[in-house]
Chains A and B, each alone.
Chain A
C-alpha cells in the first residue's frame, strides 16, 4: 500500500450553540491514498460536508476543532492562513454543493474559471481566458469559446456542475473534494457527470461526498459510511455496498427503492447529546448496545465496522 496523501487523525469538530456544543464530527480517522476515489456516504446531518470543509479549513472561526489533518505530511490545521490559501485551489480543489449558488451570477463563467488560473498560476488576461476555454472543453461543454462568455443563468444544472468541475481542476490539484456533485440532477445528466468525473480524475485522489449510494457504487474505490458524526463502516466499495457489516449500512441499502424500500425506524440522533453507547442503538434492530461504545474493528481485509457485533473489547 502506498503512503496516504491525506491522513485525518482523531478529528473532532464542534459548533458552539446556545443549547450546547454540536459535535458534527467525532473522532474521525481516515486515510486517502494516491489516485483513489473515496466515497463518503451518509444522511443529511451525519457530518460529511463538515469533514470536507474541515480539511479545507472553510468552517466558521468559532468552530472547535481538534485532531490532525495531514496532507503530504503537513498538518493543515496548524498552517498559517496565508499558507493555507496556497493549498486551497492549487493543492486541494473543491466542488461545492449547490451548483446554482456556487457561481457568481454577475461574472461570466469563463472569467470565474480564469480567476483560479490567474491567482495560482499567474496567467495573464488572454492566457487565463484561453485556459478557461480549454477547461470548459475538457468537461465537454459544447461550444466552449462561446459558453465561456455566458453568465451562469444560461447554464443548465448539469452544465453548471461541469463548469464547477472545470473550476476545481483549473490548477490540477492532487486532491479534489467534491460535495454532492450529482445532487438535483436527472438520471441521464447524473450518469454523464459520473462518467466525466471518472475520466477527469484518473490521476487524482478524490473525496467524493454524496448521499447517492448508486453514484458512490459506480465511482468510488473505497467507501466510508458516516452516522451521527462518526465513521461507522469503511472498506472497498464493492464489499461495503454488497456485503455491509454495520446494521446502519444494511438499513441504508434496504431503504433504496430498488432494494425493497424498507425505511430505518426512527430518525438521526441529536449531535449535542448523542445516545450513550453505540449511537445507532436506538434505531438498531440487531443489537441493543446502550452501555458500550464500539470501536472500528476489522471485519475483513481493509474492511472496518463500528459495531458491538464485532467489537469484543
Chain B
C-alpha cells in the first residue's frame, strides 16, 4: 500500500469463546478486526473493559488461537505457522501483561528471570548471557543489588522493569503491552511509560499498547484504535481521534463528564460489521446508520 512497509498487518481477526455446559453459548470477543502497525510505531488500543482489547492482543500473538483471520509480522504469516515454527518465531514478538508480579516466577531471582528467555532461545553461552543480563538490568533502570532479589522483594514498578528486561532480552520487533501501568502509581507510571517509549525507539519496536486510560494513550501512541464490542470503530492519529472524534462511542469515551447512565449493552447479537469510511486521510470511522 503506497510503498509503506507495514511491520504488522492484522487482517479480519475473529476470536470467540463458548461458555455454558448444557446450553452452549458462543461469545464472539473479537469480531473481524483489521489494522496495521508500522515500524517504530505505537498503536494505542482503547475501549472499556469487556470490549475485547485483551483478547485481540492475545489473538494477534496466537496466545489464544483466533478462529479466522491473518496476522503478518514483517512478512511472515504467523497464523500459518506450525507450532514448532511459531515457537521459533516467538522471540520476535512478545507481550507485557498488566500484573508484573503474576508474570514473574516467584521462586526466581531477577538474575534468573532475565536470563530465562535467553537460555530458552539459546542466545549465547553462560558468560555471554550473564553479561547481557547485567546490561539489560541496567537498561531498565535497576542495578546490581537487584539481581538477587525475588519478585516479592521488589515494588510493582520494579517488577514491571524486570518484565521489560525479559522482553527486551529477545530484541523483539513487535510487542503487545496490555495495560502495563494500570496497577501503578502515577509517578511510577510516568517512569515506566517513559522507559517503554525510550527503549521502544532504541530497539526499533512496533507496539500495540492496550489501555483504557486516555491520558496514557495520548502520551505514548502515534495512532489510536477505539474498540467497541469486538470491533474497531475508529482509528487514526492519536490527537486527531481524541480531539475530533467522529464515532458516537469515541465521543462518549472522550467526553469529560458523562452524566446520563448509558444503556446496558444488549446481549450479543452480531450484525454484519459496518464498513469503515476514510473520513480524513488516515482516519477511519465505522459507518453509522444515523
Contacts and interface: CB of A to CB of B under 8 A. Distances in A.
A267 B216 CA distance: 21
A287 interface: no
Given A192-B258, A252-B186, A257 B50 contact: no
A126 to B, nearest CB: 28
A191 interface: yes
A186 B212 contact: yes
B259 A258 contact: no
A185 B49 contact: yes
A154 to B, nearest CB: 12
B50 A156 contact: yes
A213 B193 CA distance: 18
A270 to B, nearest CB: 12
A43 B48 contact: no
A146 to B, nearest CB: 13
B288 interface: no
B218 A257 contact: yes
Interface in A152-189: 156-158, 184-189
A257 B181 CA distance: 12
Interface in A180-216: 184-189, 191-192, 195, 211, 213
A251 interface: yes
A152 B229 CA distance: 23
B187 to A, nearest CB: 4
Number of chain B interface residues as a range: 20 to 34
A140 interface: yes
A262 B216 CA distance: 13
Nearest to B252: A188
B48 A187 contact: yes
Nearest to A248: B187
Contacts of B190: 255-257, 261-263
B78 interface: no
Interface string B170-189: 00000000000011011111
B82 interface: no
Given A43-B188, A188-B252, A267-B155, A257 B49 contact: no
Contacts of B262: 188, 192
Contact of B48 (A44, A189, A263): A189
B261 A192 contact: yes
Contacts of B252: 188
B219 A186 contact: no
Given A192-B261, A261-B194, A255 B189 contact: yes
A255 B186 contact: yes
Contacts of A313: none
A251 B215 CA distance: 17
Contacts of A195: 257-259
B263 to A, nearest CB: 9
A225 to B, nearest CB: 12
Contacts of B182: 184
A248 B262 CA distance: 38
Contacts of B264: 142
B188 A263 contact: yes
A6 to B, nearest CB: 26
A264 interface: yes
Interface in B200-249: 212-216, 218-220
Contacts of A267: 155, 157, 188
Contacts of B216: 257
A211 B215 CA distance: 15
B49 A156 contact: yes
Given A44-B156, A261-B194, A261-B219, A188 B258 contact: yes
A211 B189 CA distance: 12
B185 A43 contact: yes
Interface string B18-48: 0000000000000000000000000000011
A264 B187 contact: yes
B253 A43 contact: no
B193 A188 contact: no
A158 B218 CA distance: 24
A213 B48 contact: no
Point out which of B157, B190, B213, B259 has the most chain A C-beta atoms below 10 A from its C-beta: B190
A67 B208 CA distance: 51
B105 interface: no
B191 interface: yes
A186 to B, nearest CB: 4
A251 B187 contact: yes
8 contacts: A156-B49, A156-B50, A187-B48, A187-B212, A187-B213, A187-B253, A195-B258, A211-B186
Given A257-B219, A267-B155, 9 more contacts: A43-B188, A157-B49, A187-B212, A211-B186, A255-B187, A257-B213, A257-B216, A257-B218, A261-B193
- CB-CB nearest 5 A-B residue pairs: A257-B215, A263-B190, A255-B190, A186-B212, A257-B219
